[in-house]
Chain A
Amino acid sequence: MSADPSISPAALSGEVSLPEKLADVEPVRSVRTPIRLEYDFIPGSASSGYLNAFADRKILGQQSPVDGAVFVPPRGVDPRHGAATPDYVELPDTGHVGGFCVTRLPIPGRDDLEIPYVSAWIHLDGADIGFLGLVAGIDTSEVRMGMRVRAVWKPDDELGRTAENILYWEPTGEPDIPVTAAGTNAWHAKQAAAGEPG
């Protein structure tokens, strides 16, 4: 690797001769072509059930037929066993904070978010994986793994078929879940309590 990295290999940078009529034309170095893609989203049955239920202030998960694990949002499949998950489970709008991030830069399409904001993996009571949610109603420096939270919903007349019906998650004030049983540790803690290998 003796080559000077700032110099293009000689064999690649040979002389280029232009036709005479182009001799005085300014060379084009780059062209900026913004692109746009619009599409319609047609949800499958699992996402349809999930999104439709949101309009009624309900959160639906699906349950693994193999080990009973509950997934939210439901995607129609248990990713560990490759099994279809046809059965819905209604979940409460309470849970705890797993991993979280205090974000200090704005993101496109969310001009409404005040910086800094907390994005967190929300582990609903009765669910076995987390899903993303905004945590608010508390100083960002006070947010903790294991902190108990409940959903703050949009008013009834603004509800749609969308996860955005939940404005954010706020602390309930209940005692924290121990970190060793919070977030992705929750499954193992639950299995251990049931006397089964996680």
Chain B
Amino acid sequence: MAERTAVLGVGQTKYQTTRGDVSLPGLVREAAYRALEDAELGWDDIDAVVVGKAPDFFEGVMQPELFLAEALGAVGKPLLRVHTAGSVGGSTAVVAASLVQAGIHRRVLTLGFEKQSESNATWALSLPQPFSVSINAGAGGYFSPIIRQYMARTNAPELIGCMVAFKDRQHALRNPYAHLQQQDLTFDQVVESPMLWEPIRFSETCPSSDGACALVLGDEAAGDASTKPVAWIHGAALRSEANNFPGRDEVNPQASRDCADDVFAQAGITDRRGEIDEVEIYVPFSWYEPMWLESLGFCEIGDGWKLVEEGATHLDGGDLPVNCSGGVLSSNPIGASGMIRFAEAALQVRGMAGDHQVDGARKAFGHAYGGGAQYYAMWIVGSDKPTS
């Protein structure tokens, strides 16, 4: 049996367009420090460090984990880097957890970061390839055809994506760490914002953010010793698939379904919508909320948009609140974005999510995807220790 593992501490930086006051080491140090402070631990208590970020060419710093070792307190300790494109923050947390679950380390610091102000991710994602024509305009250009397929399959009303974007921006107002704080935004403004990658409007896309997110994970003894509530890991899973093969279901990829089946089985959950109290899904473009709700089995295939339309995913009054933190649509330091989902799930079940807390949340779901919707990382955390 795997060692029971808990999230002991969470640390985030304020997400914003430019953190001009700190260098990359300063940025990661801030998140790591806050996670240790939350966990009431010091640098010496950490046995190993696991970091993740998006591909190196985003900022043009090759293998930044090496020069960040001192800022992360990792000198003389195992330091591991995880690479799974946009899902990396989630994969990094899963890898870090596995080191504790396997009994290799007692306490692990894990961290994801991105300093998008020092890069141009859209065009870093559009590098010309010699065997292809150069017409793909960033992630939006890649995901727009898939969203179009989802809309064609389900006949979902055209404004579902705008409803998701408006909801997440409203949620962000209740999270002081969220990047976008659009107090006066109206639904009509979301609808009227310009089309960039039709059917994706500007307001249905994520911002470019600087930021870092860190977690301190510990074994059962460390979780028991904590004076604060901890988040126990009930399941953690990774899956991947190739991004172009005959018959690939791009809207609902097999790797996504398999990863979800695994993590819910680990957590012993059969009624996904009924048993999960808060969901943090990786939604960089608004339509991915209904698409992932279906793929993750929170509803029947074809019904994801109905949950959005009914308000089921809203923090106020919804039975399945999604992205109460504001989600990726409100803060996107790419390499951290997946870990923020995992961290926010942990904050919810610790009762420490502040103004965006779901009352009485006991189990929460964290999710990240990356690449051409081909890398998946998921975990389920709970207020109570898992029984198995």
Contacts and interface: CB of A to CB of B under 8 A. Distances in A.
Interface in B133-150: 133-138, 140-141, 144-146, 148-149
Contact of A187 (B22, B247, B347, B352): B247
A6 B126 CA distance: 33
A110 B372 CA distance: 23
B264 interface: no
Given A12-B30, A80-B245, A99 B131 contact: no
Interface string A98-137: 1111111101111001001101110000001111111000
Contacts of B148: 99-101, 145
Interface residues of B, number: 54
A149 interface: no
Chain B CB count within 10 A is highest, among A8, A50, A162, A188, for A8
B126 to A, nearest CB: 6
Contacts of A1: 10, 12, 38, 347, 352-354
A102 B132 contact: no
Contacts of B38: 1
Interface in A55-90: 69, 73, 75, 79-80
Contact of B245 (A73, A79, A166, A188): A79
Given A1-B347, A145-B149, A129 B134 contact: no
B288 interface: no
Contacts of B177: 5
A161 B12 CA distance: 50
B262 interface: no
Contacts of A194: none
B132 A132 contact: yes
A132 B135 contact: yes
B2 interface: no
A104 B195 contact: yes
A104 B196 contact: yes
B85 to A, nearest CB: 17
Contacts of A100: 144-145, 148
B244 to A, nearest CB: 5
A43 interface: yes
B149 A47 contact: no
B317 interface: no
Contacts of A191: 247
Interface residues of A, number: 60
B61 to A, nearest CB: 10
A99 B146 contact: yes
B3 interface: no
A187 B141 contact: no
Chain B CB count within 10 A is highest, among A35, A101, A104, A145, for A101
Interface in A141-198: 145, 162-164, 166, 179, 183-184, 187-188, 191, 198
A187 B246 contact: yes
A104 B138 CA distance: 12
A128 B246 contact: yes
A171 to B, nearest CB: 18
A3 interface: yes
A12 B20 contact: no
A140 B198 CA distance: 10
B166 interface: no
Contacts of B22: 8
A99 B200 CA distance: 14
B135 A179 contact: no
A135 B152 CA distance: 19
A164 B133 contact: yes
A101 B246 contact: no
A21 interface: no
A163 B133 contact: yes
A151 to B, nearest CB: 11
A164 B135 CA distance: 10
Please name the 5 residue pairs, one residue from A and one from B, whose CB atoms are nearest each other, closest first. Answer: A99-B145, A187-B247, A102-B198, A101-B144, A5-B14
24 contacts: A3-B37, A4-B176, A5-B176, A6-B176, A8-B22, A12-B26, A35-B60, A43-B130, A79-B242, A100-B145, A101-B140, A102-B195, A103-B141, A104-B195, A104-B196, A107-B134, A119-B135, A133-B133, A133-B135, A162-B130, A163-B133, A184-B248, A188-B247, A198-B247
Interface of B: 10, 12-14, 20-22, 26, 29-30, 33-34, 37-38, 60, 123, 126, 128, 130-138, 140-141, 144-146, 148-149, 152, 176-177, 194-198, 242, 244-250, 347, 352-354
Interface of A: 1, 3-6, 8-9, 11-12, 29-30, 35, 41, 43, 47, 50-51, 69, 73, 75, 79-80, 98-105, 107-110, 113, 116-117, 119-121, 128-134, 140, 145, 162-164, 166, 179, 183-184, 187-188, 191, 198
